[in-house]
Structure 1
Amino acid sequence: MSRKEVSKGADNYSTPGLRGVQTTSLFRAVNPELFIKPNKPVMAFGLITITLCVGYLGYLHAMKEDQQLYEAIDSDGERLMRRKASKWE
């Protein structure tokens, strides 16, 4: 075994993840997250974005409760708060 073969084999084990393993191009195309180096600014941006989206959905859910009431005026002219009724009920 030559010196190049020994050092090449050692490099395969020193490379983290699957970047040093012999794989097919199809496997690399289907699983790029296994071979791409992590990018911390992109991960931080994604985490902030997902957090804001979930927060916004929670806000919309909380505001949905307030939208089910509306102010109505009955035949006597009094203002009443009524719950919206569905057309399907």
Structure 2
Amino acid sequence: MGKKETNASPGDGLRSLRSTMLFRAINYELYVKPNSVIMAMGIVAIAGCAGYILYMRSKYENMGYYSAVAVDGSETFKKKVSKWED
């Protein structure tokens, strides 16, 4: 069998090394060049989700609710009640 010579250039990374097709299929993201458009859409989506969660949490806290953890481990929002008011 003849060996295939590859000329590795700086910045090639793992693409310049010999590997099996199984390794390339399992570790697909190591051999694909980054796509800036998809990366930007993912960052916007994650930032939007985190912003929405923070917005909803601050909305409930401003309304006078707080997060309470029940005995079974579930988290619920309860209205703050003062023991001084009756």
The bucket for the TM-score relative to the shorter chain is 0.5 to 0.7
Question: Contact 2:6 / 2:16 at 8 angstroms: preserved in 1?
Answer: no
Letter in 2 for 1:24: T
Q: Does 1:68 align with 2:82?
A: no
In the superposition, the TM-score normalised over structure 2's length comes to 0.61
Q: Percent identity?
A: 38
1:61, CA displacement in angstroms? 1.2
Task: Please tell me whether Structure 1 or Structure 2 has the larger radius of gyration of its CA atoms.
Answer: 1
Question: Contact 2:24 / 2:31 at 8 angstroms: preserved in 1?
Answer: yes
Alignment RMSD: 2.4
Aligned to 1:35: 31
Q: Structure 1 stretches of 5 or more lacking a match?
A: 70-81, 85-89
Q: Measure, in 1, the Cα distance between the counterparts of 2:49 and 2:80.
A: 29
**1:23-69: CA deviations, max 9, x gaps?**
11221122111100110111111111111111111111111212629
Instruction: Give the number of aligned pairs.
Output: 64
Q: Structure 2 stretches of 5 or more lacking a match?
A: 67-78, 82-86
Q: Measure, in 2, the Cα distance between the counterparts of 1:28 and 1:61.
A: 43
Aligned to 2:71: none
